[in-house]
Copies of this chain bind each other. A is one copy, B any other.
Amino acid sequence: MSLLTVGSVAFDALETPFGKTDKIIGGAATFITLSASYFTKNNNLVAVVGGDFPQAMIDILVSHGVNTDGLQIVPEGKTFFWSGKYHNDMNSRDTLDVQLNVMADFDPVVPESYQNCQYLMLGNTAPAIQKMVIERMTNRPKLVMLDTMNFWMDSAMDDLKTVIKMVDLLTINDEEARQLSGDYSLRKAAKTIMAMGPKTLIIKKGEHGALLFQGDRLFFVPALPLENVFDPTGAGDTFAGGFIGHLAATDDISFENMKRALVYGSAMASFCVEKFGSERIQNLTQADIKARVQEFVQLAHFDM
Using a CB–CB cutoff of 8 Å, the interface residues on chain A facing chain B are 88-89, 184-188, 205, 208-209, 211, 218-222, 225-229, 256, 259-260, 262-263, 293, 297-304
Whole-angstrom distance from the CB of A183 to the nearest CB of chain B? Answer: 9
Residues of B within 8 A of A186 (CB): 225
A4 to B221, CA, bound (A): 35
Contact check: which of B208, B229, B297, B303 meets A185 at CB < 8 Å? B229
Known: A259-B302, A300-B220, A304-B263. A225 touches B208 (CB 8 A): no
A185, A211, A220, A222 — which one has the most chain B CB atoms within 10 A of its CB?
Answer: A220
| CB neighbours of A208 from chain B (8 A) | 205, 208-209
Q: For residue A298, which residues in chain B have a CB less than 8 angstroms away from its CB?
A: 218-219
Question: How far is it, in angstroms, between the C-alpha of A88 and the C-alpha of B185 when the chains are bound?
Answer: 11
Q: How far is the CA of A300 from the CA of B210 in the complex (A)?
A: 11
Q: How far is the CA of A256 from the CA of B301 in the complex (A)?
A: 10
B299 near A293 with CB under 8 A, answer no
List of B residues within 8 angstroms of A259 by Cβ = 302
Question: Which residues of the other chain, B, contact A303 by a CB distance below 8 angstroms?
Answer: 256, 260
Look across to chain B and name the residue whose beta carbon is closest to the beta carbon of A220: B222
CB atoms of B227 and A185 under 8 A apart:
yes
State the main secondary structure of chain A at its contact with B: mixed
A222 vs B302: C-alpha distance in the bound complex, in angstroms? Answer: 12
Residue of B nearest to A290 (CB): B304
Minimum C-beta distance from A278 to chain B (A): 22
In the complex, given contacts A219-B302, A256-B303, A297-B304, what are 13 additional A-B residue pairs having Cβ atoms less than 8 angstroms apart?
A89-B184, A185-B225, A187-B226, A188-B227, A205-B208, A218-B225, A218-B298, A218-B299, A219-B299, A260-B303, A262-B302, A263-B304, A300-B300
Residue of B nearest to A17 (CB): B184
B residues within 8 A CB of A89?
Answer: 184
Q: Is the beta-carbon distance between A211 and B184 smaller than 8 angstroms?
A: no
Q: List 26 A-B contacts (CB under 8 A).
A: A88-B184, A89-B184, A185-B226, A185-B227, A185-B228, A186-B225, A187-B225, A187-B226, A187-B227, A208-B208, A208-B209, A209-B222, A218-B225, A219-B299, A219-B302, A220-B225, A220-B299, A220-B300, A222-B222, A259-B302, A260-B302, A263-B302, A263-B304, A293-B304, A297-B304, A300-B302
Residues of B close to A229: CB separation below 8 A: 185
What's the Cα separation between A256 and B304 when bound, in Å? 10
A237–chain B nearest beta-carbon distance, Å = 22
Q: Which 5 A-B pairs have the closest CB atoms?
A: A208-B208, A220-B222, A259-B302, A187-B225, A187-B227
Distance in Å from the Cβ of A59 to the closest Cβ of chain B? 33
Question: What is the chain B residue whose CB lies nearest that of A183?
Answer: B227
Given A186-B225, A222-B222, A227-B188, A260–B300 Cβ distance below 8 Å?
no
